């Protein structure tokens, strides 16, 4: 093992770690605001990469139809709920239309654009739109009515959502994998290490997104409202912050992060309908390192996971996953010894 | 769905009309839905093209869907032996489903023709005969080419699952016999985001050739990683990678790869000396006439081979007993046990009492990827 090997492994670990960092942040975000341990986070990654792959073939991805179906279900639920509360038909219909509007626009655009074979960037944008629109709908259909249930109940729902999304992924994308074209084909030589353009994009986008998230939570009213919900749900509600709206926008952000991660790793590996789970799980390990509440620690943890994975596969590839997931044990011990965590309920 | 329904109706019609006692009854359990439906559906298509009689006995075929679920497979197998009183059963195309079915077959003393390479404990496969090739038969063809090319050392990069494991075992055994050494062994999983580290380690060992053990589109990523690291030696792939998905995902990077394959899907390209050429061409032309050009696949080939095997074994069994009796089932097994050299679309079978895998070493064919297409090496 010489310096060039170390360099290549470091680069590999950082590129993967950057994606895990994004997913780890999304997991922390969802958990703090809604107390949901969001296992299906990785599914958004697979949906993102594969939706783009299907756009590339000039067909309408199955996810678009799923989006319409879910939007319709959510709209019916919203109409019913508003009707029960207000007995006001126009108001109830308005609630339904409001839910339907965005998904229908995104789906309509996708169906129109799919056979026209637009440039890669336009298709990537559409993909982000489609997958992001899933976020609030998943929250609306699976979690909203259970918002006050225990974390355990929410975790069980998450497992169910994960299986449903993986199964639907198989239906839409088939059992074979896809590899997307690279967004940037450049190659830079830093001594013995060749850095690909895609690696630069992955690290760059991850850093930018982390910066944006930080700006959003520190310096905007809406971000502060979300943080308030994370700190104390009841208190935030008394201050006029809707916990349902908070939940839906959190899930939209989680889906957005997932979709972007999918676009980022799509050109570097073959993505299958079930690839997302393991990727998401590594993000989850990072989130656990951050105690499910600290963004910076989660990000550092993700880089750590990426590096361990790279060096682990070099030394003992047969035990790579074992090494990565065994890591979580000493960290859990350390976290519970260090104590200082409080249960809110 | 419509297809499944039509199969069920066809099966039901056969059940109703099949009053003659001496019919030869075959129960087939296939994954027409679920994860392995990609294997089961083409087999179902081939079954529709089966003849209506064998050796003068009318065929009564019952096709049931096992949905790639072992529980359903066992249920179907039990139904076959208790209600339908089949003379033999076939299936499933999915290995995890075929394995528990073998237990039912053995208990009921009914022959099972498995459409998957089901590995069973010694002594448990007395009534189970496999139609797909074993990995060691494929490894034989691969090692033969390596030897011809003067390969002395091989690096192994394979799945961390049963497929990777069994290839490593069978390949190492075959290679050592021929003086080829496996000098580096690395693993990866289908869903890994990167195999850079493994590729680094393998290329630094610098073997004459690399063997990648992965399936379908999953075989492209490790291949590209090795090429990416500047490896200039030969790269070999297994028969699970012998599908167009390898080129679809791998593009230019997989150019020049050596892939081992069964003979059925490359029928026309086979050298005239290959024993399966004639049968494979017949299979491909019959299937593509019914389902369109380019629709050929190895799975339908197994269903085609099943009839070829029965054509040979049933007449022998009929000399001893009539269908529908235990004596016939035993006679059928004995006939398959001593079937002798039998040329089928997938190679040359030679089942014996102790070997229910049975493909001879003439079976595997080496292909090379040239300009995004297969070329027989």
Each domain of chain B, given as residue ranges in start order, spans 2-133+283-349, 135-261
| Cα–Cα dist B207/B181, whole Å | 9
Q: Is residue A345 part of a domain?
A: no
% of residues, chain A, pLDDT over 70: 98
Q: How many domains does the structure of chain A reveal?
A: 1
Range name among A149-163, A181-195, A241-255, A279-293 with the lowest pLDDT average: A181-195
**Residue B75: CB partners within 8 Å, gap ≥ 6?**
B66
Q: pLDDT of B44-88, one tens digit each?
A: 999 999 999 998 889 999 999 998 889 999 999 999 999 999 999
How many residues would you count in chain B? Answer: 377
pLDDT score recorded for residue B16: 46
Q: Is residue A344 part of a domain?
A: no
Q: Out of 3.40.50.2300, 3.20.20.30, 3.60.15.10, 3.40.50.300, which CATH number does the structure's domain B2-133+283-349 have?
A: 3.40.50.2300
State the count of interchain CB pairs (< 8 A) between A and B: 90
The tokens for A126 are: 């559409």
* Contacts with B194 from chain A: Cβ below 8 Å: 12, 15-16, 268-269, 310, 313
Q: pLDDT of B114-166, one tens digit each?
A: 998 888 888 888 999 999 888 888 999 999 999 999 999 999 999 888 788 88
Q: Which of A257, A109, A266 is nearest to A198 (CA)?
A: A266
DSSP string, A191-220: TTEEEEHHHHHHHHHHHHHHHHHHHHHHH-
pLDDT score recorded for residue B222: 93
Contact A293, A24 (CB under 8 A): no
Contact B246, B219 (CB under 8 A): yes
* Contacts with B201 from chain A: Cβ below 8 Å: 314, 317
pLDDT score recorded for residue B20: 44
Q: Does A272 touch chain B (CB under 8 A)?
A: yes
Nearest CA in chain B to A278: B191
For the cut 80, the answer to whether the pLDDT of residue A16 exceeds it is yes
Mean pLDDT score across all residues of chain B = 88
Cross-chain residue pair B191–A278, CB shorter than 8 Å: yes
- Torsion angles phi and psi, residue B299, rounded to 5: -70, -45
Task: Return the residue matching tokens 């030589």.
Answer: A189
Give the HSE-up count for residue B334: Cα atoms under 13 Å, Cβ half-sphere: 13
Cross-chain residue pair A175–B190, CB shorter than 8 Å: no
DSSP string, B114-167: ESS-----TTS-TTEEE-SPPHHHHHHHHHHHHHHTT--EEEEEEESSHHHHHH
Cross-chain residue pair B35–A170, CB shorter than 8 Å: yes
* Contacts with B220 from chain A: Cβ below 8 Å: 179, 270
For the cut 70, the answer to whether the pLDDT of residue B18 exceeds it is no
Range name among A306-315, A330-339, B216-225 with the lowest pLDDT average: A330-339
| pTM of the predicted structure, to 2 decimals | 0.81
pLDDT score recorded for residue B47: 95
Contact B23, B60 (CB under 8 A): yes
Q: CATH homologous superfamily for B135-261?
A: Response regulator (3.40.50.2300)
Q: Does B231 touch chain A (CB under 8 A)?
A: no
Q: Does A278 touch chain B (CB under 8 A)?
A: yes
Cross-chain residue pair A9–B191, CB shorter than 8 Å: no
Q: pLDDT of A100-126, one tens digit each?
A: 999 999 999 999 999 998 999 999 999
Burial of A335 (0-12, 13-18, 19+ CB in 10 A): middle
Q: pLDDT of A320-330, one tens digit each?
A: 889 988 888 88
Cross-chain residue pair B191–A275, CB shorter than 8 Å: yes
Cross-chain residue pair B194–A15, CB shorter than 8 Å: yes
**Residue B214: CB partners within 8 Å, gap ≥ 6?**
B158, B159, B164, B188, B190, B221, B222, B237, B238, B240, B241
For the cut 80, the answer to whether the pLDDT of residue B5 exceeds it is no
CA A234 to chain centre: 26
pLDDT score recorded for residue B3: 52
Domain that holds residue A331: 3-338
Which of A313, A315, A319, A321 is the best mutation test for B, with the most CBs of B within 10 A? Answer: A313
* Check: complex ipTM more than 0.85: no
Check residue A95 and give left, alpha or beta (phi > 0: left; psi -120 to 50: alpha).
alpha
Q: Return the higher-pLDDT residue of B67 and A248.
A: A248
Nearest CA in chain A to B159: A318
Nearest CA in chain B to A310: B197
Q: How many CB atoms are located within 10 Å of the residue A191 CB? A: 8
* Contacts with A15 from chain B: Cβ below 8 Å: 194
Q: Return the higher-pLDDT residue of B32 and B110.
A: B110
| Cα–Cα dist A200/A228, whole Å | 35
Q: Residues 116-175, chain A: which have Cβ within 8 Å of B?
A: 170, 174-175
The tokens for B216 are: 């379908």
Q: pLDDT of B263-293, one tens digit each?
A: 888 888 888 888 999 999 999 999 999 998 8
Cross-chain residue pair B245–A176, CB shorter than 8 Å: yes
Q: Which of B211, B269, B268 is nearest to B240 (CA)?
A: B211
Give how far Cα A101 sits from Cα of A68, A96, A128, B35, B103, Å. Answer: 10, 9, 17, 35, 56
| Cα–Cα dist A127/A124, whole Å | 5
Residue B252 DSSP one-character state? G
When pLDDT is averaged across residues A16-34 and rounded to a whole number, the result is 94
């Amino acid at each position: 093992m010489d310096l060039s090997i170390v360099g290549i492994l470091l680069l590999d670990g950082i590129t993967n770690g950057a994606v895990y960092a994004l997913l780890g942040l999304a997991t922390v975000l969802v958990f703090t605001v809604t107390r949901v341990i969001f296992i299906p986070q990785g599914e958004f990654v697979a949906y993102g990469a594969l939706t783009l792959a299907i756009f590339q073939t000039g067909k309408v991805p199955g996810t678009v139809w799923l989006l319409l179906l879910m939007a319709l279900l959510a709209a019916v639920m919203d109409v019913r709920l508003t009707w029960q509360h207000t007995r006001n038909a126009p108001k109830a219909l308005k609630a339904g239309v409001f839910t339907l509007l965005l998904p229908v626009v995104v789906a309509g655009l996708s169906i129109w654009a799919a056979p026209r074979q637009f440039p890669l960037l336009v298709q990537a944008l559409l993909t982000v739109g489609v997958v992001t629109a899933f976020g609030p709908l998943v929250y609306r259909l699976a979690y909203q009515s259970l918002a006050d249930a225990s974390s355990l109940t929410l975790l069980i729902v998450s497992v169910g959502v994960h299986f449903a999304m993986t199964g639907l992924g198989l239906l839409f994308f088939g059992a074979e994998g896809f590899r997307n074209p690279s967004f940037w084909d450049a190659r830079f030589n830093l001594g013995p290490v060749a850095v690909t353009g895609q690696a630069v994009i992955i690290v760059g986008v991850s850093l930018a997104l982390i910066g944006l998230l930080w700006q959003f939570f520190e310096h905007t009213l809406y971000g502060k409202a979300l943080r308030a919900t994370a700190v104390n749900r009841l208190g935030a509600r008394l201050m006029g912050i809707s916990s349902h709206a908070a939940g839906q926008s959190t899930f939209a952000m989680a889906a957005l992060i997932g979709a972007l991660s999918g676009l980022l790793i799509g050109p570097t590996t073959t993505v299958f309908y079930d690839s997302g789970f393991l990727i998401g799980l590594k993000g989850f390990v990072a989130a656990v390192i951050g105690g499910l509440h600290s963004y910076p620690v989660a990000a550092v943890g993700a880089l750590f996971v990426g590096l361990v994975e790279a060096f682990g596969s070099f030394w003992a590839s047969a035990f790579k996953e074992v090494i990565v997931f065994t890591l979580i044990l000493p960290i859990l011990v350390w976290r519970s010894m260090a104590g200082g965590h409080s249960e809110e309920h | 769905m419509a297809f499944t329904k039509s199969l069920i109706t066809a099966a039901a019609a056969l059940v109703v009309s099949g009053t003659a006692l001496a019919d030869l009854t075959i129960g087939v359990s296939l994954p027409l839905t679920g994860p392995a439906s990609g294997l089961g559906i083409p087999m179902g298509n081939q079954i529709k093209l089966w003849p209506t009689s064998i050796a003068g006995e009318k065929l009564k075929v019952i096709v049931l869907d096992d949905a790639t679920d072992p529980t359903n497979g066992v249920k179907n197998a039990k139904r076959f032996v208790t209600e339908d009183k089949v003379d033999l059963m076939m299936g499933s195309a999915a290995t995890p489903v075929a394995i528990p079915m073998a237990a039912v077959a053995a208990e009921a003393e009914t022959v099972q023709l498995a459409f998957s390479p089901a590995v069973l404990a010694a002594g448990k496969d007395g009534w189970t005969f496999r139609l797909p090739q074993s990995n060691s038969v494929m490894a034989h063809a691969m090692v033969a080419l390596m030897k011809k090319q003067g390969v002395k050392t091989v690096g192994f990069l394979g799945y961390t699952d049963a497929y990777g494991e069994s290839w490593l075992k069978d390949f190492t055994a075959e290679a050592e016999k021929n003086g080829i050494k496996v000098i580096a062994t690395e693993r990866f999983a289908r869903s890994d985001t990167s195999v850079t580290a493994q590729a680094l380690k393998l290329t630094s060992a610098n073997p004459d050739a690399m063997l990648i053990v992965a399936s379908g589109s999953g075989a492209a990523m490790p291949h590209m990683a090795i090429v990416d690291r500047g490896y200039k030696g030969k790269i070999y792939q297994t028969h699970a990678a012998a599908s167009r998905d390898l080129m679809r995902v791998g593009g230019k990077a997989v150019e020049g790869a050596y892939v081992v394959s069964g003979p059925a899907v490359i029928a026309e390209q086979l050298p005239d000396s290959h024993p399966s050429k004639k049968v494979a061409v017949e299979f491909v032309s019959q299937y593509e006439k019914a389902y369109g050009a380019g629709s050929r696949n190895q799975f339908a080939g197994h269903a085609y081979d099943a009839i070829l095997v029965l054509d040979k074994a049933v007449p022998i069994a009929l000399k001893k007993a009539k269908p529908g009796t235990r004596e016939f089932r035993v006679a059928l097994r004995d006939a398959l046990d001593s079937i002798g050299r039998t040329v089928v679309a997938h190679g040359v079978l030679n089942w014996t009492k102790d070997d229910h895998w049975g493909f001879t070493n003439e079976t595997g064919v080496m292909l090379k990827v040239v300009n995004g297409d297969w070329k027989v090496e």
